[in-house]
């Protein structure tokens, strides 16, 4: 009996560890023929930008303001200064003519703070215009980042209520009704990440709950594939996931994917199996340091505590043209310390993980 149990557990662990890499290799082996079936265009590769766009808001002027500044990144590499100047002018025009419309999306209790943010964004855009005229690339990057960070804060203030109800069959699982910031200390350095409960409340809630329990403290990374994935979450002993001390059972977390244009996530089915492989998830695998839930291949609802960081390599897995999107739940992005990810190897450890913002949004 014991031997059989260990054999099954070993197979389960093997599936969790190899399923992701198998899909990556499949996506590579299919090459350009697969890519032609997938979304085209310039995918966003900055995690913080993805998180801004993923906020559940409907305020066209603030998105217009954001779009103008986000677009600069695409032109800065080629030093297309005339196009950058045009983007800056568009942003300035939105601030000048549509500030009142932007403020309409902010609750009354946050109006004063929002007006201050708009004033500061105006100052950043003025400085950005000067840096653009001087063709000062470092200053353009810095002022663009300053303005977009404030725009993200402004947009976050527009979210007042959690926008949907998680299906009853998953209501027993922890849920994150918003976003949380996690500080992770490894033996190679520190990492900060944001997990998104707006688009993956069950997966993000599970992770935040485990972080608060200290589950990942002193836990070793089990897999580090160069240019692919960095995986952690396999606890010591025979178990391959989290055993809830209340139920004494494996906590199984379903596949959870919010598709662009939908009002709530899909559960328990991949986008491909749902016939939606041409569509895009709100939280894609297009950013270095995307955080996702590992699961056995063939079992959409088999995730638990094992998670992986996607080590985005554009030459091998083109942004917006990989076969991972919609097959695994992305539920957050590394926002600082990306350089640490590439240094971590199997047996390196998370020394500590702490929720530094958003713990009050966890409904366990």
At residue 19, the pLDDT reads: 61
Quick check: do 58-158 and 168-363 share a fold?
no
Burial track 123-155 (b if 16+ CB lie within 10 A, e otherwise): ebbebbbebbeeeeeeebeebbebbbebbbebb
Please, which residues have CB within 8 angstroms of residue 70's CB and are 6 or more apart in sequence? 44, 49, 52, 148
pLDDT at 52 over 80: yes
pLDDT classification of 42: cutoffs 50, 70, 90: low
- At 87-131, the pLDDT tens digits run 999 999 999 999 999 999 999 999 999 999 999 999 999 999 999
Structure-model confidence comparison of residues 27 and 221, the more confident one: 221
Q: What is the mean pLDDT of the chain?
A: 88
**How much of the chain exceeds pLDDT 70, in percent?**
85
State the architecture of 168-363 in CATH terms. Beta Barrel (2.40)
List the chain domain ranges: 58-158, 168-363
pLDDT at 275 over 60: yes
pLDDT at 86 over 80: yes
Structure-model confidence comparison of residues 12 and 270, the more confident one: 270
Per DSSP, the three-state class of 334 is strand
Q: Does domain 58-158 have CATH number 1.20.120.290?
A: yes
End-to-end C-alpha distance for the chain, whole angstroms: 35
Minimum mean pLDDT among 11-20, 53-62, 153-162: which range?
11-20
């Amino acid at each position: 009996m014991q031997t059989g149990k260990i054999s099954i557990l070993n197979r389960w662990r093997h599936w969790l560890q190899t399923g992701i890499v198998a899909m990556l290799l499949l996506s590579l082996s299919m090459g350009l023929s697969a890519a032609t079936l997938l979304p085209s265009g310039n995918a966003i590769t900055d995690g913080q930008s993805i998180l801004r766009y993923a906020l559940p808001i409907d305020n066209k002027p603030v998105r217009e303001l954001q779009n103008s500044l986000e677009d600069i990144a695409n032109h800065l590499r080629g030093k297309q200064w005339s196009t950058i100047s045009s983007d800056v002018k568009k942003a300035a025009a939105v601030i000048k003519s549509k500030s009142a419309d932007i403020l309409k999306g902010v609750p009354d209790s946050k109006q004063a703070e929002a007006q201050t943010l708009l004033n500061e964004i105006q100052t950043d855009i003025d400085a950005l215009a000067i840096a653009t005229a001087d063709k000062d690339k470092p200053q353009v990057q810095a002022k663009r980042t300053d303005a977009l960070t404030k725009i993200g804060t402004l947009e976050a203030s527009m979210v007042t209520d959690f926008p949907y109800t998680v299906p009853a069959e998953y209501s027993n699982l922890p849920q994150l009704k918003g976003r949380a910031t996690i500080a992770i200390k490894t033996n190679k350095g520190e990492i900060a990440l944001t997990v998104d409960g707006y688009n993956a409340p069950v997966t993000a809630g599970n992770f935040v709950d485990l972080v608060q329990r200290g589950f990942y403290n002193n836990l070793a990374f089990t897999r580090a594939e160069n240019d692919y994935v960095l995986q952690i979450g396999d606890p010591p002993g025979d178990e391959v996931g989290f055993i809830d001390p209340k139920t004494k059972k494996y906590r199984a977390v379903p596949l959870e994917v919010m598709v662009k244009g939908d009002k709530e996530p899909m559960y328990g089915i991949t986008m491909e199996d749902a016939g939606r492989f041409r569509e895009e998830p709100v939280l894609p695998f297009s950013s270095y340091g995307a955080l996702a839930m590992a699961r056995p291949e063939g079992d959409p609802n088999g995730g638990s505590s094992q998670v992986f960081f996607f080590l985005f390599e554009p030459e091998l897995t083109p942004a917006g043209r990989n076969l991972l999107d919609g097959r695994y739940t992305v539920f957050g992005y590394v926002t600082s310390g990306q350089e640490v990810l590439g240094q971590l190897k199997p047996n390196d450890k998370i020394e500590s993980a702490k929720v530094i913002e958003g713990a009050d949004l966890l409904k366990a």
